[in-house]
A and B are shown apart, each in its own frame.
With several copies, the nearest count.
Chain A
């Protein structure tokens, strides 16, 4: 079994890269791999708690909580988040807060890194 780190820079709603990253993380975990997930850029607003699940919009909170429950390590870029008014106190529990070197350190010990930085 191997380690995959996914870096995600896309917003919760819009491009569907967010949906992709969460589904890929889930599939990798189901196959027994270790998975890390890094949020930066517009993905850093996604740890905000209390997302209303409307059918017209992609939704991240429930699948993200499920991933954390399964043992996926999830971390958001603190500066990117607070610039978007996401606070630790109102963030989804279990999401780690750190700076960009967290991502690099995870990349160090990962067999594969998928950096989703398009747009």
Chain B
């Protein structure tokens, strides 16, 4: 039994580049990675939003209506739905004046998980306890 932790750190706003979205889809793939690993081997992702990256977490993104593509919001909801740990930096929400009412949840999809709003120190700790970090 051996687990490898990976921190996916999103530092940039959505849509300007594909990378913030790819952070969600890459992290999500931990769900199926076992088919390429040995028994008992697992990967645990932590998906973290810091800096302008927290702008990914605004709800009511209408990318499907406006441009016909899946919104970053929908990707994030899917992450919560499969019980992934998703963290966003409290200091940055405060800096941008983003209240909890504007932050994505997946309640309507029946998810138990919520986005975890944490101080940057917690994200630092996640990086320290991870085997690998990936900055998006």
Contacts and interface: CB of A to CB of B under 8 A. Distances in A.
Interface string A41-53: 1100000000000
Interface residues of A, number: 31
Nearest to B8: A115
B29 A14 contact: no
B16 to A, nearest CB: 6
B67 A40 contact: no
Nearest to B2: A108
B34 to A, nearest CB: 9
Chain A interface mostly helix, strand, loop or mixed? loop
B25 interface: yes
Interface stretch (B80-88, B94-102, B116-124, B128-136): B128-136
A115 B43 contact: no
Interface in B22-55: 22-23, 25-26, 28-30, 32-33, 35-37, 41, 43, 45
B121 to A, nearest CB: 23
Given A107-B6, A117-B23, A117-B135, 19 more contacts: A7-B134, A14-B17, A16-B15, A41-B18, A55-B68, A55-B70, A56-B21, A56-B69, A58-B67, A99-B32, A101-B32, A101-B35, A103-B29, A108-B4, A113-B132, A115-B132, A115-B134, A117-B134, A119-B19
